[in-house]
Structure 1
Amino acid sequence: MIQTTYLTLDGDKAEEVGAFHTAKEIAGQPELWRQVFAQIESEKTDIQTFLAPILAKKNARLILTGAGSSAFIGESAQGVVQQFTGVHTQAIATTDLVTHPALFFLEDAPTVLVSFARSGNSPESVETVKLADEYCGEIYHLIITCNPDGQLAAYANDCEGNCYALVLPESANDNSLAMTGSFTSMLLAVLLVAGIDQLEELKADFDDAVQTATNILTSKLEEFEELAKLDFERVIFLGSGPMLGIARECHLKLQELTDGQVVCKHDSFLGFRHGPRAVANEDAIVVYLFSKDPHVVRYETDLATSIGQDKRGIKTISFAAEQTEGYHSVMDVPAVGKGEVAVFNVLPATMMGQLLGFYKCLQLGLKPDNPSVSGAISRVVQGVVIYNKEK
């Protein structure tokens, strides 16, 4: 009998060490992305019919929202979404909207609330939709979710024409605690929705991203496994523009999967110079998530060169680097494709945090499917009480 392998573990071993779901979900992302692309293509006309009239309105506004990793989708996507749609776009976490709705919602601006939700049952996500209905005079909902049975999907089904639910393929609904395929598939979905009028033009860049991820899964896993054996106490992820949101997601993923035993930080390449660089020392690894834009890379390379000149020999990892000479690099992960239009490069870049977290979790003797020994974190957040607020 042929044994199926997930990442570098066969099925039985993955089950034994509590890693089956996480390994399968990380490894399954390239195929999942293809399914999402096909789904958006199939729903193209319906999506255009829903969104085009709204985005054509004067003073229209897009809010990208979610909690935790789902919020970081918006942080990564907001610039590209605004560029594609020409509509003012902000990423605002549900955890901010629930506590301070009056500071963020505008009554007179036609607003599309784009909600990202793996389960669709997060208390903050459900409450944010209700608050948007209350505070905005003209509100529309685009719900991107992985769970057809969640509260947000049900809400969209009961709407009176001002909602559109994009329910992603079943495999996007991760079983593991840490969001992996759900994160990247929802991020891909919103980028494709924003670029709905140019899907054919975006296909080549999408294919490059899939190829980069496939290359990582076929040729880099052993390096990640060996890297996890190194003795490090902190990891800093750096990214610019859309990659900044990915750096934040990678930061959370590694910290989450190691149950906080590895403390992480994220920043932009330029922002890191303004004080936060103090955390980088000989016990740290700095992960560079390089841009494909030649203009941006100049700034990023300057910082990487500067850190490489630090006498402490700070270890680094590079994604999509043009070169790593002098960086004290312990791993270099190439990315397929060149040029400024690498919109989907954020997808394989996210795997840097996923894989480093997965293998470090195993190295620490934790279970990737449920790494929280104390139970302090869970797949769907627990213990959040929603309070009524007078408008």
Structure 2
Amino acid sequence: MSTFLGYDLDHLRRHGALDTSREIAQQPAVWRRIARLAAESGAETDAFLKPLLERPDLRIVLTGAGTSAYVGDVLAPSLRRRLGRRVDAIATTDIVADPLACFAQAVPTLLVSFARSGDSPESVRATELANEVLTDCWHLVVTCNEHGRLATQHADPSAVHVVLLPEAANDRGFAMTSSFTGMVLAALLALGGVDEDLVERLAGAAEHVLATRPAAAAELAAHGFSRIVYLGSGTMHGVARESALKVLELTAGRAVGLAESALGFRHGPKSVLNEATLVVSYESNDPYTSQYDRDMAAELLEVLPARNLVTITGQPARHGAWLLPGVADMDDAALALPAVICAQLIALHFSLALGRTPDNPFPGGEVNRVVQGAIMHPLHP
């Protein structure tokens, strides 16, 4: 009988998990495809971005909603260092709610919009408000849906460039998996100096996780943890936020996810710890930052059983950790790609263990794949 991520295919089909499982497993192949597409369209992308990046006063704003906002959280620290300029991650939900605060400084701005469907109301409205509030604004749209409003509604090609991911990245399942890692990678290829060799190494690390960690994720789910805390510092804090959202979404809130930084966890959020709390700690590849991750892991082992703590790391010397091989020298924004697959596997297995249907955890429509119901109000009635 054929198995997939630790389950037979018929079990996944019967329990509403086949799409999500396939979309988690396909990510190495999708990344390779994104790298090839980026190489094919690189000259066009560079022609759009190069004149903008030569402007010393250019501000870059990374935006999206939900998981797409966390793409920006992951990328912003790395891009600040690489580009040597102001790069801010601001959710579309914040831009729409208070655009005059988000764009308080009337400086030339590149708005980088991330979206799986490009059809959520905030996605398009944020671009409209940026154009309305700012004098000089350009748009880089990174999306998985060529038919979405975000990809199709901008008419001025001199001010807009669309990076379209392969169709496979447009996840059919409720939760964003391939779309999240795909958009992170596409932006790194466009702005972050990532090359195809590095993508191949990332794909190899992800294939290792997919081959070796489903059983461990199933074992964690069998322990009956009702709370999962994801810890990450710097760039990895964005990964922690996305990871906490994944388990919350796929279990329909039956397992509560919380995200914090290693240092921030002591300042109140540590109150969540009890015998039913699983802590997953992402260890930074940065030697300075990782000291704080390791300090917190050691502190947690003084108050929790060892089975309640999982460390995910690219550093091979970390005994007992979930190792991401071959990525120890990478920037954390790249490390995020194979690292978050660990959280996707945990969320999938927790969802199935709790009797949920991962492809559609909310069959009653309480929460939707593409957000509905938000009314977009005019800035000046």
TM-score by length of 1: 0.92
For each residue in 1:60-106, what CA deviation from the matched residue of structure 2 results, as whole angstroms up to 9, or x when unmatched?
Answer: 01000000000010011001122222221000000000010000114
Q: Which residue of 2 aligns with 1:359?
A: 349
- 1:205, 1:343 within 8 Å by CA — same for their partners in 2? no
For each residue in 1:279-325, what CA deviation from the matched residue of structure 2 results, as whole angstroms up to 9, or x when unmatched?
Answer: 12211011011111222222211111111112666710111165666
Q: Which residue of 2 aligns with 1:184?
A: 181
Structure 1 position 283 matched with structure 2 position 276: yes
For each residue in 1:34-68, what CA deviation from the matched residue of structure 2 results, as whole angstroms up to 9, or x when unmatched?
Answer: 11111111111111110111121231010000000
For residue 4 of structure 1, report the CA deviation from its aligned partner: 5.9
Deviates more, 1:288-297 or 1:359-368: 288-297
For residue 192 of structure 1, report the CA deviation from its aligned partner: 1.5
Hey, what's the Cα distance between the residues in 2 that align with 1:333 and 1:229? 22
Q: Which residue of 1 aligns with 2:172?
A: 175
For residue 333 of structure 1, report the CA deviation from its aligned partner: 3.8
- Letter of the 1:222 counterpart: A
Structure 1 position 241 matched with structure 2 position 234: yes
Structure 1 position 371 matched with structure 2 position 361: yes
Q: Which residue of 2 aligns with 1:92?
A: 90
- 2:327, 2:335 within 8 Å by CA — same for their partners in 1? no
Secondary structure at 2:263's aligned position in 1?
helix
Structure 1 position 347 matched with structure 2 position 345: no
Q: Aligned runs of 1:11-160 on 2, under 5 Å? A: 11-106=9-104, 108-156=106-154, 158-160=155-157
Hey, what's the Cα distance between the residues in 1 that align with 2:87 and 2:196? 24
For residue 6 of structure 1, report the CA deviation from its aligned partner: 3.4
For residue 340 of structure 1, report the CA deviation from its aligned partner: 5.6
Q: 1:309 to 1:323 in 2, by over 3 A?
A: farther
For residue 193 of structure 1, report the CA deviation from its aligned partner: 1.1
Aligned counterpart for 1:381 among listed residues 341, 365, 371? 371
Q: Aligned runs of 1:157-168 on 2, under 5 Å? A: 158-168=155-165
Secondary structure at 1:191's aligned position in 2?
helix
CA-based RMSD of the aligned residues comes to 1.9
For each residue in 1:258-299, what CA deviation from the matched residue of structure 2 results, as whole angstroms up to 9, or x when unmatched?
Answer: 000111110111111222112122110110111112222222
Deviates more, 1:172-181 or 1:306-315: 306-315
Structure 1 unmatched ranges of 5 or more: none
Q: 1:139 to 1:334 in 2, by over 3 A?
A: closer
Hey, what's the Cα distance between the residues in 2 that align with 1:210 and 1:32? 9
Deviates more, 1:274-283 or 1:58-67: 274-283
Structure 1 position 225 matched with structure 2 position 222: no
Hey, what's the Cα distance between the residues in 2 that align with 1:313 and 1:79? 31
Q: Which residue of 2 aligns with 1:294?
A: 287
For each residue in 1:102-141, what CA deviation from the matched residue of structure 2 results, as whole angstroms up to 9, or x when unmatched?
Answer: 0011463111110001000000011011101100100100
For residue 217 of structure 1, report the CA deviation from its aligned partner: 0.9
Deviates more, 1:82-91 or 1:358-367: 82-91
Q: 1:312 to 1:212 in 2, by over 3 A?
A: closer
Q: 1:107 to 1:297 in 2, by over 3 A?
A: closer
Secondary structure at 1:43's aligned position in 2?
helix
Q: Which residue of 1 aligns with 2:259?
A: 266
- Letter of the 1:164 counterpart: H
Deviates more, 1:287-296 or 1:306-315: 306-315
- 1:146, 1:169 within 8 Å by CA — same for their partners in 2? yes
Secondary structure at 2:55's aligned position in 1?
coil
Secondary structure at 1:98's aligned position in 2?
helix
Structure 2 unmatched ranges of 5 or more: none
- 1:238, 1:244 within 8 Å by CA — same for their partners in 2? yes
- 2:146, 2:164 within 8 Å by CA — same for their partners in 1? yes
- 1:292, 1:340 within 8 Å by CA — same for their partners in 2? yes
- 2:235, 2:332 within 8 Å by CA — same for their partners in 1? no
For each residue in 1:188-243, what CA deviation from the matched residue of structure 2 results, as whole angstroms up to 9, or x when unmatched?
Answer: 11111112xx44xx444433321111001112212212221111110100011111
Hey, what's the Cα distance between the residues in 1 that align with 2:268 and 2:307? 17
Secondary structure at 2:153's aligned position in 1?
helix
- 2:175, 2:246 within 8 Å by CA — same for their partners in 1? yes
For residue 344 of structure 1, report the CA deviation from its aligned partner: 1.1
